[in-house]
Structure formats: structure tokens, C-alpha cells
Structure 1
Amino acid sequence: MEVFLTTLKAVIDNLGATVVLPIIIFFVALIMGAKPGKAFRAGVTIGIAFIGINLVIGLMWGTLSGVAQAMVTNWNIQRDVVDVGWPSAAAIAFGTDVGLWVIPIAIVVNLILLVFKATKTLNIDIWNYWHFAFLGSMVYMVSQNLTYGLIAAAIAAALALFLADWTAKAVQSFYNLPGISIPHLTTAPGVPFAIFTNWLIDLIPGVKNWKVDPDTIQKRFGVFGEPVIMGLVIGLVLGVMGYYNAEQAAVAILQTGMNLAAVMLLLPRMVQILMEGLIPVSEAAREFMKKRASDREIYIGLDSAILIGHPAAISSSLVLVPIVILLSIILPGNHVLLFADLAIIPFVVAMFAPLMQGNIFRMIVAGILELGVGFYIATNMAPLFTSAAQNAGFAMPEGASQITSIGDGFLWPQFLFTKVVQSLGGVIGLVVLAALLVVVWVLYAKNPAKWEKIAGAPEK
């Protein structure tokens, strides 16, 4: 069995998401009753879309990393915990035995919950199961017990399904993604911050009425409110902040502006291609459930990469870049210097948009809150994060004493699981975590419409 799992993990790692996901989509579509030709085309189209999305994200990553490095140099920021990006978290996830078992564990958890009708989500985003493995690996590190790590990974997989179900109606309506949910543990944990931010802003007279969504901005500012021009302007501002004293400042500033304008145009186009591939799969799933399960709803769980092409998600993320770099300077007790994972911010904020109807102002406030809390989570978790990464063979960057990442090092599920197990002990801690999830899930199941409305679902 271990040889099989090792081989399966190696195959998935080597092929990558852009090959594995189309294969999974093809077989899922066939099982759901789609014709082989349609299923094949859907898989290939989705794979092409993800390649395009990754290329655009790569452009954004390179641009933002350069700007961030320039800002850090200009402002002489020095911290002993360096953000080295999500690859460090992935190294931890697959560097322990938890990573070896996470795929079958997550699949079994998903199938059991589907059979008992506890979830509507079929999570086919196997590549991102590594988030469950990371959380389980951190629990394994603090407990030195593989079984505890595996159980934690299983609970994390269930948590992702709960968050996906809870937010599905909002995601489907706002992003026009019928039959889709997002069980992605970089994005879904932002929902509580969005709910709190909405509640807080609604208490402030005048401010609560501010409407700063892309459509309103475009109507008010005309061509200068179009997403592409917004990207250009934001890019130019970031370029000035980073490269004002560079040798070829004008060139660097203009390139930054054009690169981010390109991101604003190309990401939505890539998501449109993705939707072209998803439509036949979604239709086949609906027909399958209509014939065999009394029209029971089933959601296809996908990567939140399909959300980040929305202008509100990109715009708020780009505005947050200089803000969070400033936060790293002014937050008392913070030890984290942001750098490599700044391009992950769109994934962090993407779930804010449905709850806030694309209100960029509210999304920025929620992002400040989540990432502000994240600095303290990352500072606290950095010693464990660093130790786990070194044990997994991750190469420490020169001059860094400790490392972290926004992708998982800043997020509350990893912190919560690790601290509960560490403080209460393995068995009791895991029982408490599982019990909390069950209680929340039962409350949701009693009145799903009320819960989904809180998470941004439209009125029926």
C-alpha cells in the first residue's frame, strides 16, 4: 500500500495540477453521463485555462515581488521571519508521512460525507489536498504522533467541505459559477473576517453606504474606471513607490503599470475559458443527480483560482500590497517580512467579494484585518514552521533565521488546530476540534438558508 501511495504521490507531483485536473474532470464527466467527446474536450479546455491562469499569476508574482523587494530596500525594512512563499508550506505538507496518506484520506472523508448527505461538495481539486497535509503535518510536528497528524488532516478535509457548502450559493451567484463550490483552505478561511467587517462597517453612519464596486467606479470615472485602466493606475502607483530612485525608474514604473493592466485583462479571459470547460461537466452532474438522486444538489469543488479573475478581487489585492508591507513595519510585535507570497493575496481575498458584493473598500478593510491577524499568527508559528520546513528538506534563504508564507502560515485553521492539540493533548485536542466542527455543521444543517445568507447568498 505504501508503495502505491508513494507512486501515486510522485505521479501527481510530477504531472502537476494542469495535467491531473483535466484527467480527473474527464473521468468525473464520464461517470456523470457526459459523452466521451464532450468529457475529453471539457478536461482539455479546463487544463488550458489553468495553464493560462498560472501564466498570468506568474506575471503578477514577478511584478509584485520586484516591487515588494524595492519597497523593502527603500524603506530599510528588516525582520527575522521571511515570507518565502507557499512552496515552503508545500514542502512541509509532502515532507512528512502525512502527505503520503492525505489523498486517500481526503477522498474517503469526502465520499463518506456525500453518502450520508452531510455535504454537497465533491472535491476534485486533488492538487490542493496539500493544504490538509500541511495542517496535519504541523499537528504531527507538535505531537510527534503520525496518527494525530492523519486525523487532523481528515478533520481539515471535512472543514474545507463545510466551508465550501456554506459559501457555495454566494460563489455561484456572484461569480456566475453554477454547480461550483470552493473547498480551498487558502480562500475559505477568510469568510469570518468578511462577515465581521460587514457587521463593523454597517455600524458606521455614512461609511456603510459607500459603494465602491467595479461597476460603480466605471460609471463614475468612465474609461478611467475600467478594470484595465485601474490596473494600469494601481501598477503605476506601486511602481513609483518601489522604483522612484532606481536607475531606470521610468522604464520600471511603466512596465509595472502595463504588467498589472495585463493581469486585469487576461485573468478574467482565462476564467471565461475555464467556464467553457466547466459548463458541460456541471450540466452532466445536474442530469446525473436528477435521474439517480431525486434531483439532489451536487457541487463540484474547485481551486479558488477560478475566482481571482474578478476585477474586485484583483483591484483590492493590488491595493493591499503596499498596505500590508506598511503593516509589517508598524504592527508592534510583528517579526514577519512579506515578500514571495504577495501574489497569493488575491486567493486570500477572493471569497470576500460575494459577501461584500464586490465592494473594493470593504474587501480592503477585511484584507487588512485578516492579514493583520495573520502577521501575529505567522510570528507565533514561525519557529514550528521553520523547523518543519528544514526537516522536509526546504532550503533556507540566505540571511533568514525563520520563514513563513501567507498561503498557510498566516491562516487561522493551521494555528487553531496546532495550538489546540499542543495545549490539550493529542486525543482531547482532536476530539474538541472534531466536536466543534460537528456542532457548527449541525447548526448549519438546521437552517442552511439563514447561514448561506450570512455568507453572501442572494435572497430567494
Structure 2
Amino acid sequence: MLAALQNFFNVFGATIVVPVMIFMVSLFLKVSPKRAFFSALRAGVGLTGFGWIISSFTPLVTKYIQQMVETAGLNLPIVDIGWQTGSLTAFSSSIGLSFFVFGLLIELVLFLVGITRVFVPSNLWNNFGYMIWGTMAYAATGNFALSFAFMVFVLLYSLIMSEVIADRWSDYYGVKNATINSIHNIETLIPALILDPLWNLLGVNKVKLNPESLKTKLGIFGEPMTLGFILGLVIGILGSLKDLASLDAWGGILGFAMSLAAVMTVFPLITGVFASAFGPLAEAVEKNKKQETETAETLADKKRWFIAVDDGVGFGEPATIIAGLILVPIMVFLALLLPGNRALPVVDLIAIPFMIEAMIAVSKGNILKAILNGIIWFSLGLYAASALGPIYTEAVQQYGSVLPQGVVLIMSFNLLAHPLTALVFFAWISGNPLLIGATVLVYLFFLFLLRTKRESIYSYLRKMADKNSGFEGSTEKIFIAED
């Protein structure tokens, strides 16, 4: 059975599997077959568009990042070759596929009994994020039961973060009753919550660094298209410092700048198509809310639930992609400067916009806050990736693909640069009952707070967001298309 599943995913991939899951979930939520079909089709079209853009753009940005690395004289042994290798490894291991089968049942049970108010099966593909952590645990310990339990635990605590950010993410990115839940992108909620009071104390919330203020202050230079071109120029020049006297170098720099301008322009359009796939699902969720009276509204808020959507929905939002791309060269320089760091982020640098969506949503599009949070959290993430690199490499060698020539140790910045998950991982693979028990107790404490104080948490997050000056949320609101 596991071999058949492995072959199925190898043959069809995300562009087929995700639409099929959306179609099935839509029918389950009593969406009409016609709307369910168009939702599935939009999801497939959106994912295909994402794939085309990212596969075309990644080699370009990787080229200039590698040149920046060579210019700076970096010598870091754990090389980032992208999350795709981790996905392949997750779906190639027996323990990963076991979670994909039984994890779906676990996710349904968790939702039906009310432990979580996030419906995860709608974003089933991103389960590979849990599966790769379990595969690493199994490679490190050889203990199947422990590794499977660890995957379930990572799912549990990630669902808390997913539900906490749900109201803010839904409001900011304009998708009703939706949230993100992939473990490799949701953890950035932690620094966003912890550090926000500090940034407000320092007055960062009053700094109007967001897409709308940039447009006002900079005119045409504040447009996402123009900013993409400027950022492309900066990254291209930094990656070509040794060849700036060459006409060919400037041809490459200007070509890269134009490519980034195109990404900034086209990605939001594809995002709109992909996000509209979840419109009927969100609408079906909305119909479950009773709003006849004030009492009914309160009851509805307590029972409100969310559809899990792919992080690609928010990737192309202006503040998200601008802050993410500014962090690209910053993280390369930090990799050079941080003492004891052994990890070199390369391919997954393009994934940083995915990774900061929680930060952007919490701060209501405050780009400066997102950059500051990213610098701190991703710096810690580099140390996490440094520690996890050898284990990740072993897992890939056992279950995944052959390593690139000349590369000894590998990592995925997107999958591994997560300090909290790394701490939980090492606690579990130690096999120490006290350490494992401590992680469980912490989870139970926060689950109790979420289940008893959810409305208060959402109210607090709204007040936090409103303290940021001059931005009313994403201008790239998602609409539900008529079919």
C-alpha cells in the first residue's frame, strides 16, 4: 500500500493531488459539483503557475546569491539545496507515507472532537512538512513508534499556532475563514508575538514602511513592479561586484531586475487565481455561522472554524514579497557573520516570503517589523539548520535522492531554520521521558488557553495590529469568482 502511494505521488504530483483533494473536500462541504470542479481547476492552474514562475526564477536568484557568497568568501559546509528534496524524501520513506495515510484520519478526528478549529485536509499536500521531521527522527533513532508520535505532536502544536494566527491572517490576506498551517511557515508567529511589544516601545509601529506608504512617498518607485526592479538591481550588483566593468554582467543584472519586476507583477495575479479556489470552501464555512441575534453571533464566534490553505495564497502580497526579498541578501550576510554558523542558505531564500506571512499578518503589513523579526528568528534558524544538517543529510541519503556533486552536507532553509521545532525535535529524539513530557505539558497549557480564551486572543491581536500606522491590510484581497 505504501509503495503504491509513493508511486502515485511520484506520477501525479501536487498539481493533480491538491485539486483532487479540494474537489473532494468541497463536495463534503456541500459545494455544488460545478463550483467544486472550478475550485479544483483553479487550484491546479494556480499551482502550475507557481511552479512555472518559481522554477524559472529560482535559478536566476540562486546564481546571484552564489556569486554574492563567492565574493564574500563564504566557507560553510551545510548547503541549502531547496525544500523540494525534503518533500521527495518525505514521500519516499515508509514512516512519512504512514503519516500521510493515518495522519489524515488523525487530522479529521482532531477537528471533529474540537481539539482544533482548523480543517487541515484541505491543505493535505503540505503534510510533507510533518513527514520530513518524522523521517529525520526515524533516521536518527530507528524507533518507528517514537518518530510517528513525534510527527503527531508536531501536528498538534503547529495547529495551535495555525488557529492563533487564523483571524489575523484571514483578515489581512482577505480570505474569509482561512489560515495557513504548514509547519515550515507557521512558526514565525512566535517572534511576531513576543517581539511586537518591544518594537512598539521603540516606535517601530509608527514607521510607515508598507506598500501604501511607499507608493505615497516614492511615487512610481513605490509600486511593487518598480520595487521589484530596484531590488533586482541591488541583488544583481551585489552578486556581480567583481564584473561590474563587463557589459555582459550588466546585461545579466538588468535581465535579473526585469525578471524580479515580472515576479512582483505576475505572482499576485496567479495568487488571485489560486486563492479563489478556496473561495467556495470559505463561503461554505461562512454559511455555518449563525448571525440572527447578538447571542447567536457570540456563539458563532466560539464555534468559528477555518479552512487550511496553501501558503502560496499570500506569497505575492506586496508587503510580504517586498520584506521577504529584502531579507534575502541580509540572510546571506548574516550566514557569513554569525559565529559558529555552518549553514549556507541558497535555494530556499526565495521561500522567505512564504516564511514571514505570520509576521506580516500580525503587524498589519509593517515591513520594518517583519525584517527585524526575520533577522532575529532566522539567525537562530541558521543555528538550528547547522545542528540539523547532518541528520537531514542522512535522511535524504537513506530515503531521498543522490546529493549534488561536491556537496557533503545539505539542508533546506525553509524546512529546517525553525528554532522552536528544532528544540522539540532534539527533546524527542533524546528518548528522555522528562524532556518529552515537558514538551507535552507546554502544549497542553497553551491548548487550554486557546480553547478557553480564543476570543480574547483574537481581540488582543487585532489591537496589536491596529497600533501599526498607515496600513489597512493587503490591497490584494481575494474574491470569490462566480462560476
**Letter matched to residue 276 of structure 1:** S
Distance 1:141 1:414, change over 3 A: farther
Q: Matched residue of 2:119: which SS? A: strand
| Mapping for residues 385-404 of structure 1, pairs under 5 Å | 385-404=392-411
Q: Is the CA contact (8 Å cut-off) linking 1:97 and 1:146 kept in structure 2? A: no
Write the distance in 2 (CA, Å) between the matches of 1:454 and 1:366: 19
User: Which residue of the partner structure matches residue 117 of structure 1?
Assistant: 114
Q: Are residue 433 (structure 1) and residue 442 (structure 2) matched?
A: no
- Residue 306 of structure 2, aligned match among 278, 299, 303: 299
User: Which residue of the partner structure matches residue 340 of structure 1?
Assistant: 347
User: Which residue of the partner structure matches residue 34 of structure 1?
Assistant: 31
Moved over 6 A (4+): none
Q: Matched residue of 2:153: which SS? A: helix
Q: Is the CA contact (8 Å cut-off) linking 1:25 and 1:39 kept in structure 2? A: yes
Q: 1:231-279: per-residue Cα shift (whole Å, max 9, x none)?
A: 1111111111112434411111111111111111111111111233322
**Letter matched to residue 373 of structure 2:** A
Q: Is the CA contact (8 Å cut-off) linking 1:213 and 1:359 kept in structure 2? A: yes
How far 1:289 moved relative to its partner?
6.5
Q: Are residue 315 (structure 1) and residue 322 (structure 2) matched?
A: yes
Q: 1:384-403: per-residue Cα shift (whole Å, max 9, x none)?
A: 22222222243222333321
| Mapping for residues 77-116 of structure 1, pairs under 5 Å | 77-116=74-113
Write the distance in 1 (CA, Å) between the matches of 2:133 and 2:420: 8
Distance 1:8 1:428, change over 3 A: farther
Write the distance in 2 (CA, Å) between the matches of 1:454 and 1:58: 40
Distance 1:379 1:345, change over 3 A: same
How far 1:199 moved relative to its partner?
2.3
User: Which residue of the partner structure matches residue 269 of structure 2?
Assistant: 269
Write the distance in 1 (CA, Å) between the matches of 2:459 and 2:387: 34
Q: Is the CA contact (8 Å cut-off) linking 1:109 and 1:157 kept in structure 2? A: no
Distance 1:444 1:223, change over 3 A: same
User: Which residue of the partner structure matches residue 236 of structure 1?
Assistant: 233
User: Which residue of the partner structure matches residue 447 of structure 1?
Assistant: 453
Q: 1:181-240: per-residue Cα shift (whole Å, max 9, x none)?
A: 111112110011112332222222x44421201101111111111111011111111111
User: Which residue of the partner structure matches residue 202 of structure 1?
Assistant: 200
Write the distance in 1 (CA, Å) between the matches of 2:256 and 2:162: 35
Write the distance in 2 (CA, Å) between the matches of 1:134 and 1:431: 22
| Mapping for residues 394-433 of structure 1, pairs under 5 Å | 394-425=401-432, 427-433=433-439
How far 1:170 moved relative to its partner?
0.3
Write the distance in 1 (CA, Å) between the matches of 2:25 and 2:48: 20
**Letter matched to residue 440 of structure 2:** A
How far 1:85 moved relative to its partner?
1.3
Q: Matched residue of 1:301: which SS? A: strand
Q: Matched residue of 1:447: which SS? A: helix
User: Which residue of the partner structure matches residue 283 of structure 2?
Assistant: 283
Q: Are residue 54 (structure 1) and residue 55 (structure 2) matched?
A: no
| Mapping for residues 169-180 of structure 1, pairs under 5 Å | 169-180=167-178
Distance 1:456 1:61, change over 3 A: farther
Distance 1:89 1:453, change over 3 A: farther
User: Which residue of the partner structure matches residue 125 of structure 2?
Assistant: 127
How far 1:424 moved relative to its partner?
4.9
User: Which residue of the partner structure matches residue 145 of structure 2?
Assistant: 147
Write the distance in 2 (CA, Å) between the matches of 1:366 and 1:55: 30
Q: Matched residue of 1:187: which SS? A: helix
How far 1:53 moved relative to its partner?
2.2
Distance 1:9 1:285, change over 3 A: farther
User: Which residue of the partner structure matches residue 190 of structure 1?
Assistant: 188
- Residue 11 of structure 1, aligned match among 3, 8, 13: 8
Q: Are residue 253 (structure 1) and residue 278 (structure 2) matched?
A: no
5+ long unaligned stretches in structure 1:
none
How far 1:97 moved relative to its partner?
2.2
- Residue 166 of structure 2, aligned match among 158, 165, 168: 168
User: Normalising to structure 1: TM-score of the pair?
Assistant: 0.93
Q: 1:303-326: per-residue Cα shift (whole Å, max 9, x none)?
A: 111111111111111111111111
How many residues are paired up?
453
Q: 1:302-349: per-residue Cα shift (whole Å, max 9, x none)?
A: 111111111111111111111111111111111112212111111111
Write the distance in 2 (CA, Å) between the matches of 1:173 and 1:215: 17
Write the distance in 2 (CA, Å) between the matches of 1:80 and 1:456: 43
Q: Matched residue of 1:186: which SS? A: helix
Distance 1:10 1:284, change over 3 A: same
How far 1:404 moved relative to its partner?
1.1
- Residue 63 of structure 1, aligned match among 52, 60, 63: 60
**Letter matched to residue 171 of structure 2:** S
Q: Matched residue of 2:171: which SS? A: helix
Q: Is the CA contact (8 Å cut-off) linking 1:313 and 1:346 kept in structure 2? A: yes
Q: Matched residue of 2:189: which SS? A: helix
Write the distance in 1 (CA, Å) between the matches of 2:174 and 2:408: 45
Q: Matched residue of 1:351: which SS? A: helix
Between 1:156-165 and 1:328-337, the stretch displaced more is 156-165
**Letter matched to residue 140 of structure 2:** V
CA RMSD of aligned residues (A): 2.2
Identity %: 26
User: Normalising to structure 2: TM-score of the pair?
Assistant: 0.88
Distance 1:453 1:62, change over 3 A: farther
User: Which residue of the partner structure matches residue 357 of structure 2?
Assistant: 350
Q: Matched residue of 1:181: which SS? A: strand
Write the distance in 1 (CA, Å) between the matches of 2:429 and 2:49: 42
Q: Is the CA contact (8 Å cut-off) linking 1:307 and 1:350 kept in structure 2? A: yes
Write the distance in 2 (CA, Å) between the matches of 1:393 and 1:174: 37
Between 1:39-48 and 1:443-452, the stretch displaced more is 443-452
Distance 1:285 1:201, change over 3 A: closer
Write the distance in 2 (CA, Å) between the matches of 1:52 and 1:184: 20
